[in-house]
Amino acid sequence: MKMIKVGVAGFGVIGQRLADGVASQKDMELVGVADVSPTLSVRALKEKGLPYALYTAVPENKKLFDELGIPVSGTLEELVQKCDVILDATSAGVGAKNKELYAKYNKKAIFQGGEKNNVADVFFHGYANYEKGIGKQFLKLTSCNTTGLIRAVDCIDREVGVEKVAITIIRRVADPGDYHRGLTNALQVDKAPSHQALDLMTIMPHVDATGILVHTPVTHGHIITVLATPKKDISKEQLLEMFSKHPRIRVVKLADGFLGNASLFRYARDLGNPRGDMYEIAVFEESIVKSGKDIMFAINIPQEAVVIPENIDAIRAAMEMQTDRLEGVAETNKYLGMGKWME
């Protein structure tokens, strides 16, 4: 079995989780990670024994690592040359600049949701359009909210078809540990339609989607309410059966104590998941209601980790490790331990 060599550019919220995700894949090798300076994440990596080789994205910053006794294996450019594919988890806009480096060495790269769509050959989602990513050089992932939203809508669409969806996103304002948004006591409404609805239509052009987004002063996850119009009338029980079969969707009950985003974050920590991460979205069973043919439900989006499985899918598609959609996502799920709650 040929091991696909993978590098991660950017070792922040997403990058460190991508590194862990790749390291768990038995058919991939994590060559190393790169960052611009000795951030807290990099310092923690050193304190953990530096399980991943570290590269500097800014060569002149090597002295900053040296001063702290953090070994550096080389530059980002050197890391790129050693890899088959790079997962770019740098800040929005930086990935587009890094693309020139990836193209220089004819390497494949996968960008995150913060980059503009024109950075890539295809706007990618593992379940919804895996086939479009097969063999492509540059792929771009959807944002955390869009990733989870598409999982749920695609699940219904493949069973009975979906005509349209209307969504409301109750969006966490910042990640845990961030200070740049300030201390707030307010809700903020964005101009409609939200980009997540537009992005869904880019991935699933046959579905009419619109949506509203509300920023909330919390950090642990988003909640999305979805009002879907399926092409075939379905009951609540049928929808629950669809979701319950999906290894990246966890059905939870308010009656069991899953009252919202904080309950799920706490549960992830109780499970012993590193950083309290959850790869799956959660559907609140008691939120499912019918209105004529329409059906409504609410999902939880764990924003720090939800995109990791789709990034792994993107590697599989771009490198043609699996050319069948279900085979590709199944391999990712297996190594990430997805769907264990279904056993």
- Among 221, 335, 223, 219, smallest CA distance to 211 is for 223
35 is in an annotated binding site: yes
Q: Do residues 107 and 86 lie in contact, with contact meaning Cβ atoms separated by under 8 Å?
A: yes
172 closest CA partner among 19, 6, 301: 301
User: The tokens 């919220």 sit on which residue?
Assistant: 13
Residues in CB range of 190: below 8 A, 6 or more apart: 212, 213, 214, 215
Pairing label, strands 122-124, 138-141:
parallel
Specify whether 144 is catalytic.
Answer: yes
CA dist., res. 102 & res. 239, Å (int): 43
**From the candidates 119, 122, 144, 156, which is the catalytic residue?**
144
Q: What gap in Å lies between CA 72 and CA 53, rounded to an integer? A: 7
DSSP 75: B
Report the relative pairing of strands 294-301 and 222-230 from DSSP bridges.
antiparallel
Tokens linked to 289: 């209601």
Query: Any idea which residues carry the catalytic annotation?
Result: 144
- Annotated binding residues for NAD(+): 35
